[in-house]
Structure 1
Amino acid sequence: MQIIILGLIMTQDLTIYEIRQKIRTYLSNVSSDSTGSIQTALKKLLENGFVTFTESVENGKNRKKYMITRDGENYFKETISTSMLYKEKNMELAKLFFMGYVDKNKRVALIDSYIKELEKELQSLKKVAMTFEPRYSFEKDYLEKFEATLNQRDLADNDIHDIARFQYATLDFSIEKIEFEIRWFINMRNKVLSIENISNGHDKN
């Protein structure tokens, strides 16, 4: 969570609410967007001197905007420059692992339910992808649109290209991964259904 927050405020000072919205919109498949998790991470970042904040009052409400410090930038760049590790752990897959214990009449329905969850997430990601089309073209209109989201930093076009290229590559990866999962679970569902039909046929005989 700390690295995600630092990455988000690398280009734009943000409130906790804005951080949460960006995680929910762009990184829902990577991290929780719970306010508690964000507050805990910000507390540690503040203690380490990696972020600071400004306070203002808007419409009678106190408003804190968090910004990254030089030490925070160095820590962020150092951390993301290390090798990526495979750490995907989906505890929900334990239900698939132990599905042999589930009533045979419920298995297909449970798989169908998970497929619907995947399809819902896929539509959400595709909706995000559509807000930045055409992607990878880096034409003037595109750059202006993307730069508007980075409105508090002085960045050259090449910097914007690099930031956008990898953020959208991550979005594409997430979309393609979920599409693969949907195909896999549909295939699994059909196998389970086929086995159940054969089993039911034997029972009748």
Structure 2
Amino acid sequence: MAHVILGLLLIAPQSFYDLIKGFEAGVALFYSASSGSIKRALDTLLARGFIEVASVEAGGRGRKVYHLTDAGREEFHAWMTGEPTGPDLETAALSRLYFLGLLEPVERVAVLRRITARIEADLAALSALDKQLDKHFDALDVPEEHRDLATHQRATLDYGIASHRFALDWFRDHIERHGPPDR
């Protein structure tokens, strides 16, 4: 979440309220966050020196407007151009895609290729599990009363494989449509 906030603040300085609205208006398409989690992330980013208070509005609430520091810009750039990590591939991929336009055009394809490589690796792992289950399914000796359960659990793996295949095709197509022209 911290990197998503950095991306939003790179677009424009914003208040806590503005950030909440930014999550609701677009980021919620791929990332769900409560106001409490946004506030905790802001406090952490402030403590790490990645953001600072740009201004405090006069009045009853003293609304703070936050903006990125140079260290925050560097952290955001390192995250965007680094390997997509974490257990939730979809969030890692879509959060980078959402902010891809903030990078220089020459950097974008490399980011998309790293995402594609992660999808390929995760798909390979799921496919290997699928083959292993195919090979040993009858030997697993699933009790009759759990066969329906096992069938639907297996469907979860099938869905994961199909989802990764779709994502892989989609990102490859996106690279073709928005990558640099071949020379």
TM-score w.r.t. the length of structure 2 is 0.46
Higher gyration radius (CA): 1
Higher helix share: 2
Query: 1 or 2 for the larger relative contact order (CA 8 Å, sep ≥6)?
Result: 1
TM-score w.r.t. the length of structure 1 is 0.41
